[in-house]
Chain A
């Protein structure tokens, strides 16, 4: 094998990609999804974090209260974002329907220390943005009430949980876990999957269009052609993964350990690309190769995810900076497995090449 000739083939493939403007599609794709990641941030935080938008923070919600007196009235009084109105139930519901109040609560005259439960009826507007926010706010009040009732009925309990006192930071939904624990590893690994599908296209196309003979009649050997295609695809992985991290950064999502994340993505990506190349060499026809490869991909991913300290988990840990030097060791292991697969692809390609020459 000759590195210069591999480089030549790789260059040809990359030029082919940009000539067909497929690269542009890939970039469009990234920008499009990046648009949505900002959509996720802005849109969903707005929905679930009432403090996220200026408009929300000043709003006070009216709550209709019907039925018997209860300690709930005092609990509501303590909050400045909820105003309680004592009303009749039918009046309150009619008002709710006109959206002049945000929720109605009906409390029965069950005594706090009664045998049975206190069953409160809560009326909310169906299909409504505001109901989600109200839901969060009311939940806090009701949990306080539940705690009070539990204390009243404490003598009837048999065992007690360990008590923890949580600081108050507001009931807002937080998207940190979604972004760092799911979005980042998936986005960074997306280029690896795309590249491994690409290598199948590049290899099977030569077979199906019968252009292989022309290629092999040049001084380039078959194995070099294959490795050239693999190189072209492998180069794209870190470039795209890096672009993702930059785009995320532009969206205000700072990612730590970016270099290490890209390294993990590149090595993992190369593994998938080699797997794709092997399948493509075996089938020499796109439909079958892509089908088998995607099924294999599901198996590989499911397996990898079930293993502790898998590369995707390492990306999460790297992104939030909770990983020790152990990730270098795992990188080494993955690289070793990848090298083994690379050797297998080389041997297979050489055999195919010799069979073709004979």
Chain B
């Protein structure tokens, strides 16, 4: 009860402080800037975005043809007679002579040709949409149906062509049971007016229409398309979600980061620390207003774009993750510039982690690694299952909780106001989690808790590597995964060796290695069991999570890894730490490679 009331006091105090500070100086200018923003936005909407103006040069011999290209500002148009155009052939990326298109044989020429083809399609559909007889202009319609096939991840990894071997010219025969399917009717179920409207929509050439399309989810409503409307899922579309949802969230988390930093500048937070409140109450109280604000912002954005409210659910772990990281960064940075750089670095990592998997939304199961994919799915009207939710957000929840825990444990005077450099501060944070009396139990816990982070980094690596050609991607993944694991396992040991050099005896090292190995294995099993079944079935999964098959082998491997690093630490001192990790990673990789390349398991 008391902790609740102190949380409330601190939350109210935090709100009051930021409101007064903002109110006095910032608000008038912010309002002014907002008005300016509205003005500039309408100006930009009128004038258009002039980023890619004049990228290509095109030469045309007929002003009638030039009308096709005219709306596209990417082209600089030159109208001249055929002879002159042919003379300066090399000055143009494309020339059009009597209806024949010639493109330069360069990447640029091909890109220009692609853009021209799209412009031409827009132009043709513009003309055709005005036809009185719609089905003369658009005689062919395609009803797109998707069939679910269960072997998703395993089948497509590394771009392998599983199942499409068509050497034989005989038609393939299904081996499983055949379900009877009703033949699709040839009648069109949509009214002609609807079709016309849809055509007019595609014809509008606003560069942002593609992006607003995903937000309103309009593309999924119509399965009936003309051939030119057929398009593979475009990979960059979901970046709009990063701008719309993630950027404001990241921005707001900065205020929290700064609030933590401000406590430390000039020891301003000393009064609060000496007050009779627990550090958990301070942090929860400070974080609550920002959490509420971020949730409110997301809800407002959702309402504005008219999206289903369900997309807020996958955003919650993202908010928590941002706030937890903001807490740690705010506690660790020594100066403002360090704060800026770490937070920019972090935000790039986080954005990449969130964004890149969504590139493959609808294309590949790997995309579920990011909660943003769930947002994409929800916006498309597909929705997501509880299992998918757990799968894509478990790591975010787990890492946020652990980071908050680390922040609370370390929210103490000697940590907040120390001026050590970044690496020793992080080491301090880690040793803050190690209890003096039960170092082995703490090491066990630390290894257990490091698992979500290890998985996150490994997922990142998986996203990065999975479509590099096959053998290379697997080797890279094995080596990187081994390194990450060895690094994570050695952290606790390193922190102890730094703080208490006397602790590292041969006996203690043996015990420590065993408990770390055990903790790591248990953590791995627990998390895998809960979430990652889909990935662990594939060959990439076996590279990352090899430890599933037999229990004692990976346990020995994990212990051996820690022993190697620990041995280097013991005999070579802290300077031998890095070589120790490298050697341990090499051993770990060799073990993994041995088993992947067909060991008798």
Q: Could you tell me if A117 and B467 are in contact, using CB atoms closer than 8 angstroms? A: no
A218 within 8 A of B: no
Assuming A169-B110, A299-B36, A306-B49, is B172 touching A101 (CB within 8 A)? Answer: yes
Q: Could you tell me if B345 and A29 are in contact, using CB atoms closer than 8 angstroms? A: yes
Q: Which A79-136 residues have C-beta < 8 A from chain B?
A: 83, 85-87, 89-91, 93-102, 104, 106, 108-110, 112, 115-133, 135-136
A219 within 8 A of B: no
Q: Mark A310-336, 1 if CB is under 8 A from B, else 0.
A: 101100110010110000000000000
Q: Could you tell me if A164 and B101 are in contact, using CB atoms closer than 8 angstroms? A: yes
Taking the closest CB of chain A, its distance from the CB of B426, in whole angstroms, is: 12
CB-CB < 8 A to A42: which residues of B? 467-468
Q: Mark A39-72, 1 if CB is under 8 A from B, else 0.
A: 1001110111000010110011110100100000
Give chain B's interface residue range (CB within 8 Å of chain A).
Answer: 35 or more
Q: Could you tell me if A135 and B230 are in contact, using CB atoms closer than 8 angstroms? A: yes
Closest to B49 in A: A305
Q: Could you tell me if A182 and B338 are in contact, using CB atoms closer than 8 angstroms? A: no
Report which of A48, A157, A163 forms a contact with B99, defined as CB distance below 8 A: A163
CB-CB < 8 A to B48: which residues of A? 306
Q: Could you tell me if A21 and B146 are in contact, using CB atoms closer than 8 angstroms? A: no
Report which of A43, A89, A119, A287 forms a contact with B21, defined as CB distance below 8 A: A287
Our count of residue pairs bridging A and B at CB distance below 8 angstroms stands at 417
A251 within 8 A of B: no
CB-CB < 8 A to A238: which residues of B? none
Taking the closest CB of chain A, its distance from the CB of B199, in whole angstroms, is: 12
Q: Which of A204-212, A241-249, A260-268, A338-346 lies on the face that meets chain B?
A: A204-212
Taking the closest CB of chain A, its distance from the CB of B76, in whole angstroms, is: 7
Complexed CA–CA distance, A22 and B338 (Å): 6
Q: Could you tell me if B147 and A123 are in contact, using CB atoms closer than 8 angstroms? A: yes
CB-CB < 8 A to A76: which residues of B? none
CB-CB < 8 A to B339: which residues of A? 201
Taking the closest CB of chain B, its distance from the CB of A212, in whole angstroms, is: 13
Q: Could you tell me if B164 and A146 are in contact, using CB atoms closer than 8 angstroms? A: no
A150 within 8 A of B: yes
B417 within 8 A of A: no
Taking the closest CB of chain B, its distance from the CB of A114, in whole angstroms, is: 8
A interface, over-half SS = helix
Interface residue count for A (Cβ, 8 Å)?
145
Q: Which B149-204 residues have C-beta < 8 A from chain A?
A: 149, 151-152, 155-156, 159, 161-164, 166, 169, 171-181, 183-188
Q: Could you tell me if A120 and B143 are in contact, using CB atoms closer than 8 angstroms? A: yes
CB-CB < 8 A to B175: which residues of A? 98
A3 within 8 A of B: no
Report which of B62, B136, B338 forms a contact with A20, defined as CB distance below 8 A: B338
B362 within 8 A of A: yes
Closest to A107 in B: B186
Taking the closest CB of chain B, its distance from the CB of A65, in whole angstroms, is: 9
Q: Which of B116, B228, B467 has the most CB of A within 10 A?
A: B467
Q: Could you tell me if A181 and B51 are in contact, using CB atoms closer than 8 angstroms? A: yes
CB-CB < 8 A to B144: which residues of A? 122, 124
Complexed CA–CA distance, A296 and B557 (Å): 55
Q: Could you tell me if A44 and B421 are in contact, using CB atoms closer than 8 angstroms? A: no
Assuming A99-B164, A164-B96, A299-B36, is B464 touching A127 (CB within 8 A)? Answer: no
Report which of A67, A139, A305, A310 forms a contact with B227, defined as CB distance below 8 A: A139
Assuming A101-B164, A146-B227, A312-B51, is B141 touching A25 (CB within 8 A)? Answer: no
Q: Which of B231-239, B319-327, B440-448, B535-543 lies on the face that meets chain A?
A: B231-239
What are 18 pairs between A and B in contact, CB < 8 Å? A20-B337, A20-B422, A53-B159, A62-B164, A95-B173, A121-B143, A146-B228, A157-B136, A159-B131, A162-B99, A180-B55, A182-B52, A201-B340, A204-B336, A292-B26, A295-B37, A317-B54, A320-B56
Identify 19 new A-B residue pairs, CB closer than 8 A, beyond the known A99-B155, A307-B50: A17-B337, A48-B235, A53-B469, A64-B171, A98-B174, A117-B188, A126-B149, A127-B148, A130-B161, A138-B230, A158-B133, A160-B127, A201-B339, A205-B335, A209-B266, A308-B47, A309-B50, A316-B55, A320-B55
User: B-contacting residues of A (Cβ < 8 Å)?
Assistant: 16-17, 20-22, 25-26, 28-29, 32-33, 35-36, 39, 42-44, 46-48, 53, 55-56, 59-62, 64, 67, 83, 85-87, 89-91, 93-102, 104, 106, 108-110, 112, 115-133, 135-136, 138-139, 142-143, 145-146, 149-150, 152-154, 156-167, 169, 173-174, 176-178, 180-182, 185, 194, 197-198, 200-202, 204-205, 208-210, 283, 285-288, 290-292, 294-296, 298-299, 302-303, 305-310, 312-313, 316-317, 320, 322-323
